[in-house]
Amino acid sequence: MVSTNSNILVLGAGELGTSILTSLSALAPPSTKITVLLRSSKVNTTSPSKLAELSALKALNISFVAGDIATSSVFQLSSLFAPYDTIISCLGFASGPGSQIKITNAVLEAKVKRFFPWQFGVDYEAIGRGSAQDLWDEQLDVRELLKAQDITEWVIVSTGLFMSFLFESFFGVVELSGEEGVVRALGSWENRVTVTTPDDIGRLTAMIVFEEKERVKNEVVFTAGDTVSYEGLADIVEGVLGRKVRREVWTVERLERELREDKENAVRKYRVAFAVGKGVSWERKRSWNWQRGIEVTDVKSYALSNLPQVVKGTIA
């Protein structure tokens, strides 16, 4: 079998990209070359903080190549991608509508051997088209392109929500800024959500890249740091803080009404999609990491490490 791991390109070095690059570097055999695609402005930066980030990547023996998904044509990108065996896209929805299709078309035109698209999220096929988060339809377009060809192997890693996002105050599920604090259920207390930390996503993705005995190709792989109901989340938060929090339900009807009042609000789109509850959770025992006995961070562990006023030993 021809190796697909000799020359790996990672698109982007944000939170997830950096995590994947770090794990790839740790697991890669000496013969593997790892490169990251960055905008020329970042490659040539004079910012002390950005220079420190680049130095950290260089210390991992990672090379840089300059490129811009937004301003480049599919032809230009395919020429840039052609030398690489495996491409892992860590450029998410911030790249703008159409960017995932453009990247995929360029990968296929370049006849890259193996491709991990930006699909680090929910079960888009279970959700289907026409959800409140319209960006998700493009994810289905990407899958259709990949399944319609047989030259490039593809691997989709479905991770659920980034675990940190569940605790971001702007998302509205956990808000601890006030004296009392509040945990809200999107849709109902019984609704569940699957979450994985970016560090675990990076580690698991790198393991999948280099797994040869049970090689993953042309399939969707599910990971899960945890799958928790909103009621379970509230219990965890109270246990960590050592006090009660206020509990509220944001119904689908309420969230849809708020979205109609601000139709382009991305956070409100996400809230509705998660409140509907379709395709946003799966059993942990179904996950690639669970089936291989790989330890990952669960919600309790994350909360103990990240929530303020931690009271250890209060979670049963």
What is the amino acid identity at position 8?
I
3-class SS at 140? helix
CATH superfamily, domain at 7-160+196-222: NAD(P)-binding Rossmann-like Domain (3.40.50.720)
What residue ranges in 103-166 does DSSP mark as E strands? 114-116, 153-158, 161-162
| Mean pLDDT, range 273-283, rounded to an integer | 97
Quote the pLDDT of residue 3. Answer: 65
The pLDDT, as a whole number, for residue 285 is 96
Write the CB contacts of 216 (distance below 8 Å, at least 6 apart in sequence): 155, 208
Range 86-113 average pLDDT: 95
pLDDT tens-place string over residues 122-170: 999 999 999 999 999 999 999 999 999 999 999 999 999 999 999 999 9
The topology (CATH level 3) of 163-194+226-279+297-306 is: UDP-galactose 4-epimerase; domain 1 (3.90.25)
Q: How much of the chain exceeds pLDDT 70, in percent?
A: 96
Average pLDDT, the chain: 94
- Residue 308: what pLDDT? 67
Name the residue type at position 152: T
3-state secondary structure of 292: coil
User: Is a pLDDT exceeding 90 seen at residue 232?
Assistant: yes
Q: Given a cut of 70, is residue 2 above it in pLDDT? A: no
Domain boundaries, the chain: 7-160+196-222, 163-194+226-279+297-306
Rounded Cα–Cα distance for residues 125 and 128 (Å): 5
